[in-house]
Structure 1
Amino acid sequence: MGKIIVTGASGQFGTAAARLLLEKVAAEDLILLTRTPESLSEFAEQGADVRRADFDDPASLRSAMAGGERMLLISTTRVGTRVEQHTNAVEAAAAEGVKHVVYTSILGCGAPNNPSVEQFDHLATERMIEQSGLAWTHLRNCLYAEAVATAMAIPALQAGHKPENAGEGRVPIVSRDDCVAIAVGVLTQEGHENKAYDVTGPELWTLPDAMALVSDMAGKPIEVEMVDDEGMYAYFDSLGVARKASDVVPDGPIPWASEGMVTFGQSIREGFMDIESDDVERITGRKPRTLRSVMEQYRSTWPI
């Protein structure tokens, strides 16, 4: 097996993937790409090849990709402009002889009439990779349990209240650990070319039920108020969240836009996330983590 490239290796997902890969492959077979090489000194010291790469600077990418055979393309965070970034990376990889791209996509991607704006970029990227001539694997990751246990749980506990537009729609909330583990499995095993996997947790949850679990574990009440999409926008407006990704202030206090969150909730409500899959266990050889286990991990950060 040739060398494995990990893009965005200094992010949470990329760092976790690099650590797990080091349990499976030699350090010298890892190429770790980042805009901040100094942040990956722990891997460089072990013998991994840490290289500077910037998806907004296509000229820098060819040399960054040299010598790799498989690439984990971790989706960037800039909704609306990341397809161009992803295209720059894939074109450079193809030019340097990379054979297989493993991409972190989103659950429900490509389903007809899915309203989630988050999945538009992912769908465009999936199609771009498929048309590149490279082998591909799409990892369609679900809502992270870690996000539910922190970004959702903490404000809800502080306020004792949470508006929600996902209704009674069900979503198989998954731990980031399992998303990382299936990515590493695909990168280090044979037979995953030209396939899409649904990366899900072991249980389907409604978001009100997930908040009820937080309330029960914290011993504090959370009132979930069912609102429509406009009510959800109004809530995010009150927090000062930009509606559109194009209006997000670079390096500002809130790096995301409410349009993504509101349409994500809509897609859950309309059933686009109601998917059961055993792909995680089949490829990693272990059962995916439960939402409760992730909440237990983060419970010490809650305002109790």
Structure 2
Amino acid sequence: MGKIIVSGASGQFGHAAASQLLDMGQEVIALTRSPEKLADLAERGAEVRAADFDSPDGLADAMAGGEKLLLISTTMVGERPRQHGNAIKAAVDAGVQHIVYTSLLGVRRPGNPSVEGFDHIATEKLLEQSDVAYTFLRNSLYAEAVATAMAIPALTSGSKPENAGKGRVPIVSRDDCVAIAVAVLTQQGHENKAYDVTGPELWQLPDAMALVAEMAGKPIEVQLVDDEGMYQYFDAIGAVRKSEDLTPDTPIPWASEGMVTFGQSIREGFMDIESDDVERITGKKPRTLKSVFEQYQGAWPA
């Protein structure tokens, strides 16, 4: 098999995927804006190349010689279609044959309100219109985010506002998202397909917080709020509402619109999806939410 390009290789997802591919004896081209952060992958034989999806110049050269690309979605909501479009064009120009893209669960269900989802829909459409084979990995909510970004503030304050209500979401470990990405990149027959990347259980977020509270031995009061109440909570901690209002000096590096509409999409059932794609493609059962909580429990406030 030819060389596999991994974008965002200095991020957690990209680094883990590149590392696993190297473990399997694959030739890897690791793309990053910060090559100095990938000395460990370089020592193991990866070709580390500088690449910035904001700068189309030189992107095709950075992808030269690659057969497949793992396109990990960037973090800037609203900017991603432009950034991903630059990457897709460069990959096509470089002769890449297959692009595997990390998308979002439930994203193509009509009426999904998630503004984060709009970026993923736009990117999926760019790939469908391109001259390259694609695979969409529609990842659910990360268990690791629930175990850290949700659990730690909730344990610290003893409460958590939540606009996802009683909606269900198949919370998935990032480990399983990486595993299915590596499998798709190294197996045959996944061209022009979409997979729902989910954990083994559907969770209501208040029940997930109840499990955190039980395991930590500390109470968490979940306050079910409407979308405006959720916006007011994020306003109070200093988050801007719209991604276009973000500046380098903004204390919180994300906009609340993405978080609030994500919760709305769960509440309205857009992520209530059961799938066996992880086990079917990787050959392993996906991790439970409790196992991820056990992994991160040491970081919780005592």
TM-score (norm 2): 0.99
Does 2:253 match 1:255?
A: yes
How many angstroms does 1:23 deviate by?
A: 1.9
Which of 42, 46, 49 aligns to 2:47? It is: 49
Q: Is contact 2:22–2:46 with CA below 8 Å preserved after alignment?
A: no
Determine the structure 1 residue equivalent to 2:266: 268
Determine the structure 2 residue equivalent to 1:206: 204
Structure 1 residue identity aligned to 2:190: H
Secondary structure of the 1:288 match is coil
Determine the structure 2 residue equivalent to 1:63: 61
Q: Return the alpha-carbon distance in structure 2 between the equivalents of residues 63 and 231 of structure 1.
A: 48
How many angstroms does 1:273 deviate by?
A: 0.5
Q: Return the alpha-carbon distance in structure 1 between the equivalents of residues 108 and 204 of structure 2.
A: 22
Determine the structure 2 residue equivalent to 1:239: 237
How many angstroms does 1:32 deviate by?
A: 0.4
- The percentage of counterpart residues that share the same residue type is 73
Q: Is contact 2:115–2:262 with CA below 8 Å preserved after alignment?
A: yes
Q: Return the alpha-carbon distance in structure 1 between the equivalents of residues 81 and 70 of structure 2.
A: 16
Q: Return the alpha-carbon distance in structure 2 between the equivalents of residues 208 and 7 of structure 1.
A: 34
How many angstroms does 1:251 deviate by?
A: 6.3
Determine the structure 2 residue equivalent to 1:171: 169
Secondary structure of the 1:5 match is strand
How many angstroms does 1:46 deviate by?
A: 1.5
Q: Return the alpha-carbon distance in structure 2 between the equivalents of residues 15 and 91 of structure 1.
A: 23
Determine the structure 1 residue equivalent to 2:216: 218
- Structure 1 runs (4+) deviating above 6 angstroms are none
Does 2:221 match 1:197?
A: no
Which of 164, 181, 184 aligns to 1:183? It is: 181
Q: Return the alpha-carbon distance in structure 1 between the equivalents of residues 71 and 178 of structure 2.
A: 12
Does 2:300 match 1:302?
A: yes
Q: Return the alpha-carbon distance in structure 1 between the equivalents of residues 71 and 252 of structure 2.
A: 24
Determine the structure 1 residue equivalent to 2:4: 4
Q: Return the alpha-carbon distance in structure 2 between the equivalents of residues 254 and 25 of structure 1.
A: 40
Q: Is contact 2:167–2:268 with CA below 8 Å preserved after alignment?
A: yes
How many angstroms does 1:133 deviate by?
A: 1.4
Determine the structure 1 residue equivalent to 2:286: 288
Aligned CA distance change for structure 1 residues 251 and 56 (closer, same or farther; 3 Å): farther
Secondary structure of the 2:211 match is helix
Secondary structure of the 1:225 match is strand
Q: Return the alpha-carbon distance in structure 2 between the equivalents of residues 271 and 251 of structure 1.
A: 36
Can you give the 5+ residue segments of structure 1 that lack an aligned partner in the other structure?
A: none
Deviations 1:247-292 (A, max 9, x none): 1222643111110010000000000000000000011110000000
Aligned CA distance change for structure 1 residues 202 and 251 (closer, same or farther; 3 Å): farther
Q: Is contact 1:24–1:188 with CA below 8 Å preserved after alignment?
A: no
Secondary structure of the 1:72 match is strand
Tell me the number of residue pairs that the alignment of Structure 1 and Structure 2 aligns.
302
Which of 59, 71, 74 aligns to 1:73? It is: 71
Q: Return the alpha-carbon distance in structure 1 between the equivalents of residues 5 and 240 of structure 2.
A: 34
